[in-house]
């Protein structure tokens, strides 16, 4: 591997550290990704220089410097549009209660590398001497596509249990498998994840789902028991038979839906869509009913599922927007099945589109991905039917601007016509007119006014009309 000429900024920086009497090494994920041919513009370094010395070297060279991580020995900087993070050699000790280390600086690059999470991340490259430093066999593990720990897995995961979930994340991002001893340790120590904050768990879970191979990461998390701790609704689906009897269980079906939803992405990885695809059926375990004749039903599982999604994603500290959007997609994912052979009225089509609002494109993808039948004739028929629904939505959108459906009279006009002050009655009138618009499409102004007066009379509101 030859990196010295690939990133002139890095080589220049290494020269500045050497002139100041220090060593600087490209390290960790940057070295791993360079071997994989996927190195980004963000570079990670390690050095024997202490943080004040790092700041001194960077001063006058970097375009910007930030020291928010200086308590942990990390200084960040940018130069010519490239971001670098420089961390002093570490030899931390962990208290085994929290995941917080007692930050201790080390003296050798080898000592720094052996305390890292996985051997593929425990390599460093000396840019000036042009040599690889690989004390734990990371390059061989990288070539084999195997995740193993520099120390024993029990020691590594005992120091930082989040590393177990990170193993599942790397399986999803890189398509790697875990060494047998790592898998066994994950199964034995999965419960230790309970001492990691929800925020840190959520970051790793999101990275896992956004990886190139999320199914591999999910399956590893489920098979080792990690998912029982961080997302217990997911393994709970393994015992639930899909009502169409086309899949071994709802869990397997959900993984297939996830993969099919990914195939429909057009603008890069979509966390909201992937969460919805993975979790769209989590309401089934709580709604399963065995019917006479041997059938199985899951009535209203979309309603139960939406509630479970809100509860779990809130517990994982996801942003409010993501919680709301994923829950709404789960709630709406079954509605299409009432479309039948296209019997919906234009009113029903309007409601489908307006209830989805900004999620309509994602809902289209989720519904299409949810078709996992192996019967090609049935699958093609479902896709053709959905094609028809999309065409109807597009036609109505072009005619009526469905993206901004509003009542034919606004709040100010409602107050003027009914001689009402601002308050709940105006909101009720507005809601009535919006429902009317959804049912009948755009109304002429006089017709909307007439309907408003008729509603007010039914509600006992005295008007001047």
Integer CA distances (angstroms), 109 to 29, 72, 163, 184, 204, in order: 15, 16, 21, 29, 27
Q: For 99-124, what is the mean pLDDT?
A: 85
| Residue 402 vs residue 230, higher pLDDT | 230
* DSSP single-letter state for residue 344: -
Contact 142, 32 (CB under 8 A): yes
Q: How many angstroms separate the CA atoms of 99 and 77, rounded?
A: 27
Beta-ladder partners of 142:
none
Each residue's pLDDT tens digit, 335-345: 998 888 888 88
Integer CA distances (angstroms), 158 to 105, 149, 253, in order: 20, 12, 34
For residue 392, count other CB atoms closer than 10 A to its CB.
Answer: 19
- Find, among 242, 31, 249, the residue nearest to 121 by Cα: 31
Residue with tokens 């991580």: 69
Integer CA distances (angstroms), 391 to 340, 346, 361, 385, in order: 15, 12, 13, 10
Q: For 371-393, what is the mean pLDDT?
A: 89
* pLDDT-based confidence at residue 94 (cuts at 50, 70, 90): low
For residue 199, count other CB atoms closer than 10 A to its CB.
Answer: 10
Q: How many CA atoms lie within 13 A of 375 on its CB side?
A: 7
Using the predicted structure, report yes or no on whether residue 216 has a pLDDT greater than 50: yes
**Residue 4 pLDDT:** 55
Candidate from 167-171, 304-308, 374-378 with smallest mean pLDDT? 374-378
Q: How many CA atoms lie within 13 A of 423 on its CB side?
A: 5
Sign of CA dihedral 109, 113, 119, 123: negative
* pLDDT-based confidence at residue 450 (cuts at 50, 70, 90): confident
Q: For 158-167, what is the mean pLDDT?
A: 95
For residue 307, count other CB atoms closer than 10 A to its CB.
Answer: 15
Each residue's pLDDT tens digit, 228-269: 999 999 999 986 554 555 445 899 999 999 999 999 999 999
Q: For 41-62, what is the mean pLDDT?
A: 92
Q: What is the dihedral of CA 291, 296, 302, 306, to 10 degrees?
A: 100
Integer CA distances (angstroms), 290 to 2, 243, 280, 286, 299, in order: 63, 10, 21, 12, 11
Candidate from 186-195, 227-236, 298-307 with smallest mean pLDDT? 298-307
Using the predicted structure, report yes or no on whether residue 297 has a pLDDT greater than 80: no
CATH topology of domain 8-141: Beta Polymerase; domain 2 (3.30.460)
Q: How many angstroms separate the CA atoms of 269 and 210, rounded?
A: 6
Residue 172: burial class (beta carbons within 10 Å; 0-12, 13-18, 19+): buried
**Residue 37 pLDDT:** 86
64 sits in which H/E element? strand 64-66
Q: For 128-135, what is the mean pLDDT?
A: 93
**Residue 89 pLDDT:** 92
Candidate from 141-150, 245-254, 348-357, 363-372 with smallest mean pLDDT? 245-254
Q: For 205-212, what is the mean pLDDT?
A: 97
* pLDDT-based confidence at residue 133 (cuts at 50, 70, 90): very high
* pLDDT-based confidence at residue 1 (cuts at 50, 70, 90): low
**Residues in contact with 73: Cβ distance below 8 Å, sequence separation at least 6, in sequence order:** 50, 51, 87, 88, 90, 103, 105
| Residue 375 vs residue 291, higher pLDDT | 375
* pLDDT-based confidence at residue 164 (cuts at 50, 70, 90): very high
**Residue 99 pLDDT:** 52
Tokens, residue 362 = 């994602």
* pLDDT-based confidence at residue 274 (cuts at 50, 70, 90): very high
**Residue 95 pLDDT:** 54
Contact 272, 321 (CB under 8 A): no
Q: For 372-389, what is the mean pLDDT?
A: 89
**Residue 105 pLDDT:** 83
| Residue 292 vs residue 156, higher pLDDT | 156
* pLDDT-based confidence at residue 404 (cuts at 50, 70, 90): low
- Find, among 118, 127, 147, 119, the residue nearest to 46 by Cα: 127
**Residue 266 pLDDT:** 92
Domain ranges in the chain?
8-141, 406-458
**Residue 464 pLDDT:** 55
Using the predicted structure, report yes or no on whether residue 178 has a pLDDT greater than 90: yes
Whole-number percent of the chain with pLDDT over 90: 59
Candidate from 46-50, 143-147, 339-343 with smallest mean pLDDT? 339-343
**Residue 337 pLDDT:** 86
Mean pLDDT, the chain, rounded, equals: 88
Using the predicted structure, report yes or no on whether residue 463 has a pLDDT greater than 70: no
**Residue 5 pLDDT:** 56
Using the predicted structure, report yes or no on whether residue 107 has a pLDDT greater than 90: no
**Residue 351 pLDDT:** 83
Say whether 66 sits in a helix, a strand or coil: strand
């Amino acid at each position: 591997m030859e990196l010295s000429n690939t990133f002139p900024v890095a080589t220049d920086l290494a020269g500045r550290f050497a002139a100041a009497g220090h060593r600087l090494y490209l390290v960790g994920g940057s070295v791993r990704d360079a071997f994989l041919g996927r190195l980004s513009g963000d570079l990670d370094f390690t050095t024997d220089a202490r943080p004040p010395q790092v700041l001194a070297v960077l001063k006058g060279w970097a375009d910007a410097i930030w020291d928010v991580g200086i308590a942990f020995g990390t200084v960040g900087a940018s130069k010519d549009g490239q971001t670098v993070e420089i961390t002093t050699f570490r030899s931390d000790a962990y208290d085994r209660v929290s995941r917080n280390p007692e930050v201790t600086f080390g003296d050798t690059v080898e000592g720094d590398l052996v305390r890292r999470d996985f051997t593929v991340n425990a390599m460093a490259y000396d840019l000036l001497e042009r040599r690889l430093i690989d004390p734990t066999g990371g390059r061989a593990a990288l070539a084999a596509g195997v995740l193993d720990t520099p120390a024993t897995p029990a020691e590594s995961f005992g120091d930082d249990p989040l590393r177990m979930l990170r193993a599942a994340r790397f399986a999803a991002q890189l398509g790697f498998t875990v060494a047998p001893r790592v898998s066994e340790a994950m199964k034995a120590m999965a419960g230790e994840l309970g001492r990691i904050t929800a925020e840190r768990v959520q970051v790793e879970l999101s990275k896992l789902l956004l990886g190139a191979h999320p199914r591999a990461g999910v399956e590893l998390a489920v098979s080792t028991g990690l998912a029982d701790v961080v997302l217990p609704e997911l393994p709970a689906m393994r015992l639930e038979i899909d009502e169409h009897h086309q899949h071994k269980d709802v869990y397997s079906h959900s993984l297939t839906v996830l993969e099919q939803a990914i195939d429909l992405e057009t603008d890069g990885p979509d966390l909201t869509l992937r969460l919805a695809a993975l979790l769209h059926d989590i309401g089934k375990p709580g709604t399963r009913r065995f019917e006479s004749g041997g059938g199985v039903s899951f009535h209203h599982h979309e309603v139960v599922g939406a509630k479970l999604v809100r509860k779990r994603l809130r517990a994982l500290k996801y942003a409010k927007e993501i919680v709301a959007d994923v829950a709404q997609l789960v709630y709406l994912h079954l509605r299409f099945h009432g479309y039948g052979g296209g019997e919906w009225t234009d009113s029903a089509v309007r409601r489908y589109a307006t209830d989805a609002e900004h999620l309509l494109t994602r809902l289209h993808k989720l519904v299409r991905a949810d078709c996992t039948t192996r019967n090609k004739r049935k699958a093609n028929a479902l896709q053709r039917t959905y094609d028809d629904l999309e065409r109807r939505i597009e036609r109505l959108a072009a005619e009526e601007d469905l993206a901004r459906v509003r009542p034919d009279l606004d709040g100010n006009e409602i107050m003027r016509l009914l001689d009402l002050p601002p308050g709940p009655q105006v909101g009720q009138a507005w809601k009535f007119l919006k429902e009317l618009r959804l049912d009948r499409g755009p109304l002429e102004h006089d017709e909307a006014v007439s309907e408003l007066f008729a509603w007010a009379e039914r509600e006992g509101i005295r008007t001047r009309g």
